Amino acid sequence: MVDEALGAGLQLVAGWLGCARNVVQRLQDAALPVARLAGLATSRSDGAPSPPSNAPAEPEPTAPQTEVEEAKYHLGRAGEQRGAARYADRETAELPRAYNRDRIVLLPRDPWWAFAYWEITPTTRVRALRALGSDAEGAREVLRVYDVTFLTFTGDNAWLSFDVELTPGADRWYLNLGRPAASFCVEIGLRTPGGRFLPLARSNTVTTPRSSPSPDTSVRWVDVRHGTPGEAPAWNGQRMPAGDDLSPDPADERPRSSDVHAPPPR
């Protein structure tokens, strides 16, 4: 019984002391701005000196939504930004000349020409020379062009093919295909003096564009000029007249670029 009364008394005294300490702390905090204005140095209740009058004020607490909005514009600490700048040159580096993979790509340029570029790794070339054995002596690297119009190419069913000998170290080439509106694919490989051909890589299939208007005359034209609604007659394959006087446009009589640059037949 006595112990319970003594414990209750001690708790009551401790509560009084805590309240008194809080009152003193509040009074000291309230007097701190006045002391700063007066240039007086004050001390906190825990013995630590108060910050000087020219010290920056503590940031005011912000709402969570405000912190989220400000985080969008955070650029990191100054040290982090300087560290990131050391690696910025990697983005401006040149592209590698090779990617260590066997590949050849064919691109149509106009109705008669195409462009091919490729990469063959040294390992593939060494294996090809070993596979040729004694025939490897005097073997040349060539492009073999296949005409695969309307075909699913399997390697030996092309309409026709021809070889283009390459200069040593070449990795791109313009090809004179000579056939508009046709499909082609290319293989790069080694050709022996005896005529044996060992392919190293095969390209995609491309189709060259037409060198003339489409022969399809079934299209029907509609005159959309003001005051002449309705459907025009079917096109008969002749040049369409220009202007209201139906006089031909002099520009239409000039040779087209595809005609000027057409290569001579092989």
What values do phi and psi take at 30, rounded to 5? -70, -30
Domain of residue 157 covers: 103-207
How far is the C-alpha of 259 from the C-alpha of 240, rounded, in Å? Answer: 20
How far does CA 244 lie from the centroid of its chain? 49
217 found inside a domain? no
27 found inside a domain? no
How far is the C-alpha of 210 from the C-alpha of 246, rounded, in Å? Answer: 28
**Of 132, 124, 129, 130, the residue nearest 201 (C-alpha):** 124
Tens of each residue's pLDDT in the chain, 266 residues: 556 666 666 666 666 666 667 766 777 776 666 566 555 444 454 555 555 555 555 656 666 677 767 776 666 665 555 555 555 456 667 888 889 999 999 999 999 999 999 999 999 999 999 999 999 999 999 999 999 999 999 988 999 999 999 999 999 999 999 999 999 999 999 999 999 999 999 999 999 999 988 887 777 666 666 665 555 555 565 665 554 444 445 555 555 555 555 556 55
What is the domain-level CATH number for residue 196?
2.60.40.10
Segment holding 70, helix H or strand E: helix 64-71
69 found inside a domain? no
55 found inside a domain? no
How far is the C-alpha of 3 from the C-alpha of 12, rounded, in Å? Answer: 14
CA angle 10, 11, 12 (to 5 degrees): 90
Query: Locate tokens 């189709």: which residue?
Result: 207
80 found inside a domain? no
Token pair for 80:
């982090």
91 found inside a domain? no
For the chain, how many structural domains are there in total?
A: 1
How far is the C-alpha of 240 from the C-alpha of 256, rounded, in Å? Answer: 16
19 found inside a domain? no
223 found inside a domain? no
Token pair for 115:
């462009």
